[in-house]
Amino acid sequence: MSGAEYLLFILMLSIFLGFELINKVPATLHTPLMSGANAVSGITVVGAVALAGTGSETMSMWLGMGAVTLASINVVGGYMVTDRMLSFFKKKED
């Protein structure tokens, strides 16, 4: 397998996996789930670094740097705010 078919194969498996995993998240955690998922969607930074690091001052490099910046806000902000929220969730101590 190579190229597009391989990527589509990965896509299908991860969508099924995502449905299975997230169906089990209780309603009380839906906000942290959403902001945590948001941080994960900052994964675009991985693609952006290769574009921003070419060293050539081309359009593509500037676009890549913009993407690195935006995705970093997403990653750092997303994980930190999720952690902050989850730190509030406590069980009743008797």
Partner 1 sequence: MAIELITQLGYVVASGLFIFGLKMLGSPATARRGNMVSAVGMLVAVISALLDQGIVDFTYIAAGMVVGGAIGAIAARSVAMTSMPEMVALFNGLGGAASLLVGWAALSPDSGAFTLVTIVLSILIGGVTLTGSLVAYGKLSETIGSGAVTFSGQQVVNSLVVLGIVGGAIMFCANPTDLSWLYVVIGLALLFGIMAVIPIGGADMPVVISLLNSYSGLAACAAGFAINNNVLIVAGSLVGASGIILTQIMCKAMNRSLSNVLFSGFASVSTEEAVVEGEIKPISVEDAYYVLEAATNVAVIPGYGMAVAQAQHVVKELTELLENNGCEVNFGIHPVAGRMPGHMNVLLAEADVPYDQLLEMDEINPRMETVDVAIVIGANDVVNPAAREVESSPIYGMPVINVADARTVFVLKRSMASGFAGIENPLFYKENTRMLFGDAKESIGGLVREFS
Binding to partner 1 in span 33-62, by CB under 8 A: 33-55, 59-61
Q: Which of residues 66-85 bind partner 1 (CB under 8 A)?
A: 66-85
26 touching partner 1, by CB under 8 A: yes
DSSP sequence for 17-51: HHHHHHHTS-GGGHHHHHHHHHHHHTTHHHHHHHH
CB of 54 to partner 1, least distance (A): 7
Question: If 0-12 CB within 10 Å is exposed, 13-18 middle and 19+ buried, where does residue 1 land?
Answer: exposed
Residue 33, both tokens: 């789930």
Per CB under 8 A, 1 contacts partner 1 = no
Q: How far is the CB of 94 from partner 1 (least distance, A)?
A: 10
